[in-house]
Structure 1
Amino acid sequence: MSEGDKIRVMIVDDVIDTRDQLEKLLFFEKDIEVVAKASNGREAIALARQHRPQVILMDINMPDMDGIAATEAILTNDPGIQVIIMSVQGETDYIRRAMLAGAREFLIKPISADDLYRSIRHVARLAMTRPIAPVGAPGGQVPGAQPTVDGQIFAVFSPKGGVGVSSIAANLAVAIRQQTNKKVALVDGNVIFGDLSVLLNLRTDKTILDVASRIEGLDRDLLNDVMATHPTQVKVLLAPP
């Protein structure tokens, strides 16, 4: 974003007073511009295609289509958009669902003006460090740029606990590492009852909480510092004990 450009923001919330209040808070910020407002997830998807905002303030609980489903649909169409999830509830499950959907930040209502400005500017800066290929570029590559090799994400999950999800995930990570000799990261997404540390016999005082508390400084060095290393050379981001 060059000097003088404004951060294009879309507000998505089913409560009209909340939408208007957020718009008023942003009105006097010279580097921020509200380009659209939506009352539900389906409307947000359509307006995102039309206005192409850089940042979306997305309420998590809305009728017809909630913020999680809308975020997934929007980012599938345009992964360069930065989504900030808003909720009156700050439970771990809400935060986990928002992160899995692709949200970059999570704000708990009522949101202070300072937190709102900081979050919008922070995710906008993050977007600047992640170049996105222009629409229509063959193979998703920027013409003239060096080709890049993307990684793959495998999600292992079950609607109920105690069925062996952690065992499958741990063995899958080790098998991929041994058969491909490529870098493999294993993330324990169960922040309440995660047990990969037990299955892999790993002892460390650093967990996913260290990433969450330092999210503004997230980079390769921080992840290398926080993730434990299994004897098979699989990197593991553990859940809190």
Structure 2
Amino acid sequence: MTAASEGARIRLLIADDQALVRGALGALLELEPDLTVVGMASDGAEALRLAEELRPDVCLMDIQMPGMDGVEATRRVRAASPTTQILIVTTFARPGYLRSALDAGASGFIVKDTPAEQLAEAVRRVHRGVRVLDPVLAADSLFDGANPLSERERQVLRLAEDGRSAAAVAAEVFLSAGTVRNHLSAAIGKTGAANRAQAVRIALDKGWI
């Protein structure tokens, strides 16, 4: 049973780093007689803080946000507020993101151009404990394979995305430059890339980082 009693309005938290998106989602959902927005967050850390404070029934979570991303925020919100169901609402329709989000504890994954009535129904369904997945992404994820990268490989690839050197990445993650190069080399091999830049692009396209 979630925080809302039977017949009560479903209490929502919206987490998205774009103010216009937060406002639009909130305005649309507030039109529904059984839904109410109790909080809005601009990043994953704020989503976690508000989830702990407000204990919403459902959190609509973006994937790509500054600092703590939506996948990590999902994992932490579920740990801090187990009755809060997570519905990922994102522009980034990538099978790898869907897999990562579900592994982190999300109950649903839909894209932002979902019609308003379908979005509201998705909220109601995850509140009832039903899993809601974008059908195209769900089908794609069956054929795209699981994320082959380890957590450390994902970390160093994300940091290497802007072209910084292995030494610079090493300083940030408190590893030796040689160890970072080993992780990068492993990531290049697992993605089938020719070099580090290509490995980053492939991992981003598949939603692995």
TM-score (norm 1): 0.52
Aligned to 2:8: 5
* Deviation (angstroms), 1:117: 0.7
1:1-241 mapped onto 2 (5 Å cutoff): 2-126=5-129, 159=149
- Structure 2's unaligned 5+ residue stretches are 131-146, 151-209
* Deviation (angstroms), 1:106: 0.3
Structure showing greater relative contact order (alpha-carbon pairs closer than 8 Å, 6 or more residues apart): 2
SS state of the match for residue 14, structure 1?
coil
Q: Deviations over 1:182-229 (max 9, x none)?
A: xxxxxxxxxxxxxxxxxxxxxxxxxxxxxxxxxxxxxxxxxxxxxxxx
SS state of the match for residue 114, structure 2?
coil
Distance, in Å, in 2 between the alignment partners of 1:95 and 1:53 is: 22
SS state of the match for residue 115, structure 1?
helix
* Deviation (angstroms), 1:80: 1.7
Aligned partner letter, 1:4: G
With over 3 angstroms needed to count, the CA separation of the structure-2 counterparts of 1:123 and 1:60, relative to structure 1, is same
Aligned partner letter, 1:42: A
Distance, in Å, in 1 between the alignment partners of 2:76 and 2:113 is: 26
Residues 16 and 43, structure 2, Cα contact 8 Å, conserved in 1? yes
With over 3 angstroms needed to count, the CA separation of the structure-2 counterparts of 1:20 and 1:65, relative to structure 1, is same
Aligned partner letter, 1:60: I
**% identity of equivalent residues:** 40
Q: How many residues align structurally? A: 132
TM-score (norm 2): 0.59
Runs of 4+ in 1 over 2 A off after TM superposition: 1-4, 157-160
Q: For the aligned residues, what is the CA RMSD?
A: 2.0
Greater CA radius of gyration, 1 or 2? 1
* Deviation (angstroms), 1:84: 0.4
Residues 16 and 61, structure 2, Cα contact 8 Å, conserved in 1? yes
* Deviation (angstroms), 1:94: 1.1
* Deviation (angstroms), 1:59: 0.2
Distance, in Å, in 1 between the alignment partners of 2:113 and 2:69 is: 19
- Structure 1's unaligned 5+ residue stretches are 128-156, 161-241
With over 3 angstroms needed to count, the CA separation of the structure-2 counterparts of 1:47 and 1:2, relative to structure 1, is closer
With over 3 angstroms needed to count, the CA separation of the structure-2 counterparts of 1:158 and 1:4, relative to structure 1, is closer
Residues 55 and 83, structure 2, Cα contact 8 Å, conserved in 1? no
* Deviation (angstroms), 1:2: 4.3
* Deviation (angstroms), 1:159: 2.7
Aligned to 1:191: none
Distance, in Å, in 1 between the alignment partners of 2:55 and 2:15 is: 14
Aligned partner letter, 1:67: G
Aligned to 2:154: none
